[in-house]
């Protein structure tokens, strides 16, 4: 096939039943976060490029991966690479009452090296809380993500937490790292030398063999925390312990975006390949709202990758895709007019119903009924048409069948489907 007519590299078509599973994942997420008072926000998929430049000029997301372009009106636009900046921009623009607890779901765009679990268009579900700097909000946010993974049935997800301290702590730590790595520049990989020049924190992320020893010997962020930041972090970890959410403190955990201060965290799926095993992450970004034109307002949140979370579900054999999309299949051998009305009756009664088309034979229609995965068939032939009845047949195993009056059809189906 002409490659122009294939989905672009790094994108995928999500067909049923994966699409149904996708949607139920978002439903479960919405249920978990709405029970905690989060309200949905739907930001645009593109913004003025300046909004995302706040993620950090030194980050890969901004430097190398952004889909940015000039629109026909001469505006510099970028497709969103994530939604925190958009949600905080919306906060700055509309100034809702704080605490503002928002959740979102939708696609993001990053020009990444595409592979399994790493896409150029990928979906996230997430939350952001603007207003409080209370460490217990950090704990609430982390615990919500944890409960969500539990609801999906995932058992092999681990949580790493860290604190990057106040902006001042962070800056001092970056200098300490720069000094540490610069002292032994020759033993650093070439890539890491480049990274060091733009963003010393990211060198800690290196998984390259050559860097292992130097990274292991690097100073720890936790030794650079101010008393305030340390106390804040202590309250986060105490609350997580009280909630029974297991975690490890990972002083080397740095995230790929520059807005973080204080708490950061990441969820890793042990069932996935190491290169893309991060199924979610987040943290505090107390300076972002001010950067985007709001009065100084602390913020904290997370985003979970939908694509990767579903891969983790596959790997653990949980949160299965549905096996059927409908409950009842209508088979009409009288010409199809009865099927027009019956499917509508069934649907209005809240049953999922479908039918065959093009005047197919009884045999072909029964085959379509089986293929549909429906549990029940409603069959109308000339006799039933004349008598005002239908045959209700159970398609699961040897469920048998009965002839029933039209006006009891729905009750009988409901009872059988229960």
Shortest Å distance, C-beta 304 to ligand HAM? 6
Q: Using the rule CB under 6 A, which residue among 54, 80, 101, 110 binds ligand HAM? A: 110
Decide: is 301 part of the binding site for ligand HAM (CB under 6 A): yes
Shortest Å distance, C-beta 175 to ligand HAM? 25
Asked if residues 417 and 327 have their Cβ atoms less than 8 Å apart, the reply is yes
How far apart (Å, rounded) are the C-alpha atoms in residues 248 and 262? 16
Q: Using the rule CB under 6 A, which residue among 125, 135, 289, 303 binds ligand HAM? A: 303
Residue pointed to by tokens 């096996």:
323
Decide: is 163 part of the binding site for ligand HAM (CB under 6 A): no
Which stretches does DSSP call E strand in 144-287?
A: 157-163, 248-249, 261-269, 278-284
Decide: is 280 part of the binding site for ligand HAM (CB under 6 A): yes
How far apart (Å, rounded) are the C-alpha atoms in residues 148 and 31? 9
Decide: is 56 part of the binding site for ligand HAM (CB under 6 A): no
Shortest Å distance, C-beta 219 to ligand HAM? 24
Helix%, strand%, coil% for the chain, nearest 5: 45, 20, 35
Decide: is 128 part of the binding site for ligand HAM (CB under 6 A): yes
Decide: is 329 part of the binding site for ligand HAM (CB under 6 A): no
| DSSP bridge partners of 267 | 159, 280
Asked if residues 135 and 232 have their Cβ atoms less than 8 Å apart, the reply is yes
Decide: is 305 part of the binding site for ligand HAM (CB under 6 A): yes
Nearer to ligand HAM, 132 or 305 (CB): 305
How far apart (Å, rounded) are the C-alpha atoms in residues 173 and 220? 8
How far apart (Å, rounded) are the C-alpha atoms in residues 355 and 330? 5
Stretch that binds ligand HAM, among 117-125, 209-217, 341-349, 394-402 (CB under 6 A): 117-125
Nearer to ligand HAM, 304 or 413 (CB): 304
Q: Using the rule CB under 6 A, which residue among 56, 132, 282, 298 binds ligand HAM? A: 282
Which uninterrupted H or E stretch holds 123? strand 121-130
How far apart (Å, rounded) are the C-alpha atoms in residues 140 and 239? 9
Q: Which residues bind ligand HAM (CB under 6 A)?
A: 82, 84, 110, 112, 118-119, 122, 124, 126, 128, 255-257, 278-283, 285, 301-303, 305, 307-308
């Amino acid at each position: 096939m002409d490659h122009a007519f294939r989905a672009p590299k790094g994108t995928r078509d999500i067909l049923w039943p994966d699409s149904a599973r996708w949607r139920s994942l978002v439903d479960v997420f919405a249920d978990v976060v709405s029970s905690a008072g989060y309200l949905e926000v739907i930001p645009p998929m593109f913004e003025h490029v300046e909004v995302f430049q706040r993620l950090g000029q030194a980050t890969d997301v901004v430097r190398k991966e952004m889909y940015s372009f000039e629109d026909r009106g001469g505006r510099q636009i970028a497709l969103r690479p994530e939604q925190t900046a958009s949600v905080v921009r919306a906060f700055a623009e509309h100034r809702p009452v704080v605490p503002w607890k928002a959740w979102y779901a939708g696609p993001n765009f990053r020009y990444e090296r595409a592979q399994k679990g790493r896409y150029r268009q990928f979906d996230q579900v997430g939350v952001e809380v603007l207003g409080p700097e209370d460490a217990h909000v950090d704990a609430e946010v982390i615990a919500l993500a944890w409960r969500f993974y539990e609801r999906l049935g995932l058992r092999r997800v681990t949580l790493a937490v860290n604190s990057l301290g106040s902006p001042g702590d962070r800056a001092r730590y970056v200098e300490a790292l720069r000094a540490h790595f610069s002292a032994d520049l020759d033993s650093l990989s070439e890539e890491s030398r480049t990274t060091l020049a733009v963003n010393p924190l990211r060198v800690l992320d290196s998984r390259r063999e050559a860097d292992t020893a130097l990274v292991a010997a690097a100073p720890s962020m936790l030794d650079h925390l101010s008393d305030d930041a340390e106390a804040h972090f202590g309250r986060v970890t105490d609350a997580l312990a009280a909630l029974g959410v297991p975690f490890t403190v990972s002083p080397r955990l740095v995230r790929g975006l520059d807005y973080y201060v204080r708490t950061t965290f990441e969820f890793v799926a042990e069932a996935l390949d190491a290169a893309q095993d991060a199924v979610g992450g987040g943290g505090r970004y107390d300076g972002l709202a001010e950067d985007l034109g709001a009065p100084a307002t602390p913020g904290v949140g997370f985003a979970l990758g939908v694509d990767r979370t579903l891969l983790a579900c596959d790997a653990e054999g949980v949160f299965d895709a549905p096996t059927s999309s409908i409950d009842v299949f209508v088979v009409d051998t009288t010409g199809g007019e009865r099927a027009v009305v019956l499917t509508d009756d069934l649907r209005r009664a809240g049953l999922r119903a479908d039918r065959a088309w093009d005047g197919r034979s009884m045999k072909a229609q029964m085959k379509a009924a089986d293929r549909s995965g429906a549990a029940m068939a409603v069959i109308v032939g000339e006799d039933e048409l004349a008598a005002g009845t239908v045959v209700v047949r159970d398609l699961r195993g040897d469920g048998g069948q009965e002839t029933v009056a039209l006006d009891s059809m729905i009750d009988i189906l409901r009872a059988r489907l229960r």
